Structure 1
């Protein structure tokens, strides 16, 4: 069997995880990834996991990408979240001409981040002009380039539309130095991501620094990875982060149970039948969630590699598996947190931060309950 593309990233993630774990308190305190962590991620090529091979990237299979993020998330969720964000953003390189992509991703540090879709850019000679502010730019504090997804206006201010009448949306890219970052990320969890806001004022974006995101006809790269698109890649990546957080939290609860003798209890925690049963059931829940997510990604990748098509069925399957995995991971973290008792509330112990991080993850778009409705509707309207 041939080696999975990007499989070496997993070993490199494990190798840098101890450094990240040591830096986790400082990451939380400063609400930024530390310079040593960023340097380690860059030196080990982890930011380049989904960058095309033609640009020196790993062009990793989804499973390798997911395993990489799991390993980092066990050490620190904020680091894994930023890494997942920026690696998926790099997939847009497949929609840019080679020289433009080379300029963005092969000029150190070669990191791109972006936020949510919002606002408009006005078409002008040779490109676009834009004045706007965007939110939720995880990883922006490490990025050398920023992007934004904007609706396009003609020179007269009327919307430009696609053939089907929908608004034309492009991703615009510009040097981070062109933007002003606003320190707004005061959040319950994922504090170290620095998911701040950013704005530009009358910035000119040359045409070559724009792309139609996730449009197969606009791809320069032939690899199957880029047929998936950034939306499903974000879903798989952030679900993998949730698995890493859940694994680390449950492992901490198991370690605690092995050594703790609760006050007023007759025996050690490890000898309590209720604790034993709870750990067994929770372990099963976590393994089932991980198996489901990875099986979905494997099936999608196998079919995509064979046919070159990322089908609507696979898109729904990824959305369902990612949403359910994040929700199951949150349940595992909740169980481990409550199992730890009063120990869990102290910042000096490995529960409180992971509890907050997991619940911040569960509030993101990838975990919305409406995804179940979308999948359910498709199931009910399918013809057999």
Structure 2
């Protein structure tokens, strides 16, 4: 087992969280993780949480990965978001040959980021050529490599197809120095993620720097983790980030309520029965959301470890739990923010940025309402 395995990652995240919190204002102002924070994440092995043990990674179970992100998210959502994004991207090492993965992930800083699925790669001798621009590359400002998910087409532009007739999709990988990055991330929240756009022009991609990501039959690494795939792992990770933001926001409101005397109120906020009841109910809502997310993740993990199969039922369960958790976390943040009153609107207090960050999280693909429709359709279809 790697020395980074399991819950040692959580302890390391908890240990550096106060430092990350002190850097949060600088991260917000500069719209990127500070070099000191990036170095702390690297030195503590946190970017390697999901990297195969054969490459010196932790290959951690989902529960440890999620708790690691929660601890960092309590300190700063942008840092946790980038860490989650790049950690999941590193899972692609399980689909690469060992030497290629070694070159990407064991040459410092060994960080990979990518954006949304779009565009195509044209087949040429020994590889592919690509001219394209992609969006939403969280963590790209720290990355040494970038990736993109593309359709494969022949010289005539016709799509290459899989055995079942579906278009062939591959993930291509290339050094960040071969791309042009565009600073476009002027967003309401998660300002420090630097979720920029990037493009390449007539870039040659050797065959070995491509992978059939999330295709179980193409895996080169053993173990249950990589059978989950990146999509479901992103969902679990970003839901955990939302829990960390909600926890920190509610804790800040509880701390405020212990001391604050509201305008025109006779007593302290902590003695107000309405405030007491609302804090109690909101605490219950947050604990319930966290328990549900971890119960779904752990049930999936136990089944996967026993059967070796990540089933459609597992995928549905993870998607539902992650989506609902993000939405519930947003409600907790809203309640905590409103309880804080006028105090919450000032940038000097620990509410305003978390409020914006949480609502940026809730706009991401992992929180789409359409996921409920997919789950409902599956349930109504029966067994």
Secondary structure of 1:203's match?
strand
Contact 1:119 1:132 in 2 (8 A): yes
Where do residues 9-88 of structure 1 align in structure 2 (5 Å cutoff)? 9-88=9-88
Cα deviation code 1:256-289 (max 9, x no counterpart)? 0000001100110000000000000000000000
Where do residues 1-384 of structure 1 align in structure 2 (5 Å cutoff)? 5-383=5-383
The CA distance in 2 between the partners of 1:4 and 1:115, in whole Å, is 27
Cα deviation code 1:111-133 (max 9, x no counterpart)? 00000000011000000000100
Contact 1:81 1:241 in 2 (8 A): yes
How far is 1:7 from its partner? 1.1
Alpha-carbon RMSD = 1.0
Secondary structure of 1:113's match?
strand
Cα deviation code 1:150-191 (max 9, x no counterpart)? 001112221111111111110000000000000000000000
Cα deviation code 1:89-131 (max 9, x no counterpart)? 0000000000000000000000000000000110000000001
Cα deviation code 1:218-238 (max 9, x no counterpart)? 000111000000000000000
The CA distance in 1 between the partners of 2:58 and 2:222, in whole Å, is 14
The CA distance in 2 between the partners of 1:65 and 1:49, in whole Å, is 7
How far is 1:86 from its partner? 0.1
Contact 1:147 1:174 in 2 (8 A): yes
How far is 1:307 from its partner? 0.9
The CA distance in 2 between the partners of 1:196 and 1:356, in whole Å, is 18
The CA distance in 1 between the partners of 2:224 and 2:40, in whole Å, is 28
Contact 1:94 1:221 in 2 (8 A): yes
Contact 1:297 1:318 in 2 (8 A): yes
Contact 2:245 2:358 in 1 (8 A): yes
Runs of 4+ in structure 1 deviating by more than 2 angstroms, as ranges, are none
Contact 1:48 1:58 in 2 (8 A): yes
The CA distance in 1 between the partners of 2:205 and 2:58, in whole Å, is 28
How far is 1:13 from its partner? 0.1
Contact 1:4 1:61 in 2 (8 A): no
How far is 1:4 from its partner? 11
Q: Give the TM-score taking structure 1 as reference length.
A: 0.98
Alpha carbons of structure 1 residues 373 and 291: separation in structure 2 relative to 1, 3 Å: same
The CA distance in 2 between the partners of 1:348 and 1:198, in whole Å, is 34
The CA distance in 2 between the partners of 1:77 and 1:291, in whole Å, is 21
How far is 1:5 from its partner? 4.6
Unaligned regions of 5+ residues in structure 1, if any?
none
The CA distance in 1 between the partners of 2:39 and 2:382, in whole Å, is 49
Secondary structure of 1:229's match?
helix
Cα deviation code 1:293-340 (max 9, x no counterpart)? 000000000010111100100100000000000000000000000000
The CA distance in 2 between the partners of 1:44 and 1:382, in whole Å, is 46
Unaligned regions of 5+ residues in structure 2, if any?
none
